[in-house]
Amino acid sequence: MCAWCGTKFLVGGTVGRPPKYCKRSHRQRAFEASKRGSERGLGGGEVLVDATAWATLQDALYRLEAAVEDVATDLADGLEPRSMVDGLVRTCSDAIAALPEPIATGVPADLGQTR
Residues that bind Zn ion (CB under 5 A): 2, 4-5, 7, 22, 26
Q: Which is nearer to Zn ion, 8 or 82 (CB)?
A: 8
Q: Which is nearer to Zn ion, 4 or 104 (CB)?
A: 4
CA 2 vs. chain centroid, Å, equals: 11
Q: Cβ(68)–Cβ(12) under 8 Å? A: no
Which residues face 48 on adjacent strands? 104
Rounded to the nearest whole angstrom, what is the least distance from the CB of residue 31 to Zn ion in the complex? Answer: 13
Rounded to the nearest whole angstrom, what is the least distance from the CB of residue 32 to Zn ion in the complex? Answer: 14
What is the rounded CA–CA span in Å between residue 98 and residue 101? 9
Rounded to the nearest whole angstrom, what is the least distance from the CB of residue 106 to Zn ion in the complex? Answer: 19
Q: Which is nearer to Zn ion, 7 or 93 (CB)?
A: 7
Q: Which is nearer to Zn ion, 4 or 64 (CB)?
A: 4
Q: How many CB atoms lie within 10 A of CB 51?
A: 9
74 Cβ partners below 8 Å, 6+ apart?
Answer: 83, 84
Rounded to the nearest whole angstrom, what is the least distance from the CB of residue 33 to Zn ion in the complex? Answer: 13
